[in-house]
Amino acid sequence: MSPTSPDLPPRPGSDGPYDPNHRNDPRYDPTRNPRWQREQQRYFRDAQRAAQNQSRAARRAQDAAWKAQNRTQREQWKLYLRSQRRTSVVGPLLLIALGMVFYLVHSGRVELLRFFAWYAHWWPVLLIVIGLLRLAEWAFDRARQPTGAPPLRYSVGGGVVFAVIVLSCLGIVLHAGGQWHADGNGIGFLMKDWGHSDRMGTFFGDKHEEDTPQVVRQIAQGGLLSIESPHGDVTVTGTSDDGKLHLTSHKEVFTNSDSTAVERLRSLAPVLEGTDNSLTLHVPSVEGGDADLTLLVPAATRVVVNSDHGDIHVSNLKSPLSLTANNGDVEIAAISSSVQVHVNNRHRDLNIRSVTGDVAVDGNGDEITVTDVTGPVAIRGDFYGGGHLQRVNGAVEYHSSRSDISLARLGGELQIDGHDLSASEVVGPMAVATRSRNITLDRVIGDVKVVNSHGDVDVHMAPPTGTLTVDNQNGNVNVSLPAQAKFTLSAETSDGDTHSDFSFPETHGGRGVLSGAMNGGGAAVRLNTSHGDINISRNSSPPLPPAPAKPPRVTASDSAAGFQGLDPGQLQQLQQMQRDAMATAANALRDSAKEVRDSQKESQAELRQRLEEARVQAREALREAKEKQKEAEQLAREARRDDR
């Protein structure tokens, strides 16, 4: 509302007395009217509010314009990045690989559980291949990119990333699950014993068992027996004295249907084919089924066993033996001929003992044990749990991806594990080449050559002493020689000290170098190391005992000599009782061997721990002795200086 100005001219006819509140009075002053004042204040408030609203609306419009501009810029940047993005070939290749695997499994060309076993071991290679493909793509696009062009973006896609994560988790679960065993029925989990009694069917069905009647078949003296077992244990004992083969089997299937169980048990029946000179025993492969075979054969039978999933036990044979075990423990005992073994499972053990002949082993496994062999032993492959050889009267060759060992005869034992290599009572020439191991050779005669890195080398020589060569890196070298030995020494360390219990007539060299001739000189002793000390000590070891004579062979007629004078019925009954007793003894021997292996693993681990503690204490004591010796030498030098 607009106020009336107080300077308006007086209205005509206004001749009355002055009234300050009368608006018609020309002398009226509206500023003195409270109502006018309130209206004036309201006017100013409305004007101020309108100005604030106008300013606020302007700011909103400006903010909206800025947001729209930023949104437009982001959309343009996204379009630009999409135009620069390069999709990877990893996704299509991964789909092709999965499709090929599914096709091979679906068509029956590849067993699903065998593929799982392979994948659990090799799944990290998947990540390596994907990384190499991405690196190759980056290098290829970088080489083709024009100079000054904006950088390209690389993407494999969210689906591919999710698939890789799922496949990695599957590999971790399968590999970790392979280390665990389940209930007392021998049912394992996943990867440990794929395809034996721990296949997938064992988790989704009930167990059905059946023992087949004994099968007797004539076999020629010195005939060939070939055994093909897809799933199940195989036990062969050469204790049959009637010239015949005796076969019994124990069958197991896992299914929820009784009719299916009967059909599968019937299909699992072992089949014997061929002539008396050459017999073939094979068991059909049935899903979810195992067939454990027990055979008694004449001792002169030549046996060939091929087992895909299951343990193998062979004993008391006098003819060549050949075994192939893809997934199972192997136990061989009392073989009076050559033995050839091929194993292919890093989680399984191999045990060979009491063999009169050659032993040849190749493949890979967990632990290998070879004892009491009169012929040469050749081992080629990786045994990740270690190796133990004892009393081998012939030459020994051990070749793996990490170590190469050869020697002429082993009178004591040879022990190999992840961190140590030890041997005792060895007849040379002996050669050891390995890395990252502590080597201990005790009572060695003949020529010795050792090549090692990142570990200590301890060699204890016995008379007669041959040439000794030690080439080590990053470790100490400790050598013990007979007190009366004749040798010529050449020792050198690039970062360490040399110490000798022998007093050489003439020595030359400086710190870390020691050389000279003892007792007139003789076999060359060359010691070389870096970042370690060289210590040479005396010993009074006696010579090694001579090689033992070969044990006499036992013929089949010797075991049957006790049956003379009996009628045929009694003889057959006694022979059957003997076969049953031998089968029971073989089963008991197999169970006890497993218990012994388990206890040996625990005791060996404890022994290794104690040896490592003793070795650390010895090193500390040697270091303290050296420090005290240095202090004594320093005090002696100071005393001589004071005397002067």
Per-residue pLDDT tens digits for 389-434? 999 999 999 999 889 999 999 999 999 988 899 999 999 899 999 9
User: pLDDT tens for residues 346-390?
Assistant: 788 999 999 999 999 999 998 999 999 999 999 999 998 889 999
Query: Are residues 579 and 613 part of one domain?
Result: yes
Instruction: Judge whether 302 lies within some domain.
Output: no
Per-residue pLDDT, 297: 93
* Cα–Cα distance list, 114 to 129, 254, 345 (Å): 22, 18, 12
Domain encompassing residue 636: 564-643
Total of domains in the chain: 4
In this predicted structure, the answer to whether residue 479 has a pLDDT above a threshold of 90 is yes
The pTM of the full predicted model, rounded to 2 decimals, is: 0.58
Instruction: Judge whether 100 lies within some domain.
Output: yes
Higher pLDDT among residues 190 and 255, named by residue? 255
Specify which residues 537 forms β-bridges with. Answer: 480
Q: Which residue pairs from 121-125 have beta carbons closer than 8 angstroms and sit at least 24 positions apart in sequence?
A: 121/175, 121/191, 121/346, 123/167, 123/168, 123/170, 123/171, 123/172, 123/174, 123/175, 124/171
What's the helix, strand, coil split of the chain in %, to 5?
35, 35, 30
Query: Are residues 573 and 639 part of one domain?
Result: yes
Query: Are residues 109 and 53 part of one domain?
Result: no
Of the listed ranges 39-53, 65-79, 186-200, 467-481, the least confidently predicted one is 186-200
Select the highest-mean-pLDDT range: 33-37, 44-48, 450-454: 450-454
Give 169-191 as a DSSP string. Answer: HHHHHHHHHTT-B-STT--B-TT
Instruction: Judge whether 451 lies within some domain.
Output: no
Q: Which residue has the tokens 């897809």?
A: 230
Write the CB contacts of 313 (distance below 8 Å, at least 6 apart in sequence).
233, 234, 235, 236, 331, 332, 586, 589, 590
For helices 124-144 and 158-177, angle between their N-to-C axes, nearest 10 degrees? 150
Binned at pLDDT 50, 70 and 90, residue 280 comes out as: very high
Per-residue pLDDT, 634: 76
Residue 509 exposure: Cα atoms within 13 Å on the Cβ side: 17
Query: Are residues 60 and 17 part of one domain?
Result: no
8 Å CB contact between 457 and 477: yes
Instruction: Judge whether 577 lies within some domain.
Output: yes
Give me the mean pLDDT over the 468-492 stretch: 90
Instruction: Judge whether 609 lies within some domain.
Output: yes
User: pLDDT tens for residues 236-270?
Assistant: 999 988 889 999 999 888 887 888 888 888 888 89
Query: Are residues 51 and 23 part of one domain?
Result: no
Final residue belonging to a domain, choices 125, 154, 177:
177
Instruction: Judge whether 141 lies within some domain.
Output: yes
Average pLDDT, the chain: 78
The backbone torsions φ and ψ at residue 200, rounded to the nearest 5 degrees and listed phi first, read: -60, -30
Query: Are residues 58 and 18 part of one domain?
Result: no
Query: Are residues 617 and 595 part of one domain?
Result: yes
Query: Are residues 109 and 173 part of one domain?
Result: yes
**DSSP H/E element including 158:** helix 158-177
User: pLDDT tens for residues 86-129?
Assistant: 667 777 888 888 888 888 777 767 767 667 777 877 888 888 88
Query: Are residues 102 and 66 part of one domain?
Result: no
* CA distance linking residue 95 with residue 21, whole number of Å: 98
Query: Are residues 629 and 614 part of one domain?
Result: yes
Instruction: Judge whether 529 lies within some domain.
Output: no
Instruction: Judge whether 590 lies within some domain.
Output: yes
Give me the mean pLDDT over the 158-174 stretch: 79
* CA distance linking residue 115 with residue 357, whole number of Å: 38
Select the highest-mean-pLDDT range: 119-128, 144-153, 611-620: 119-128
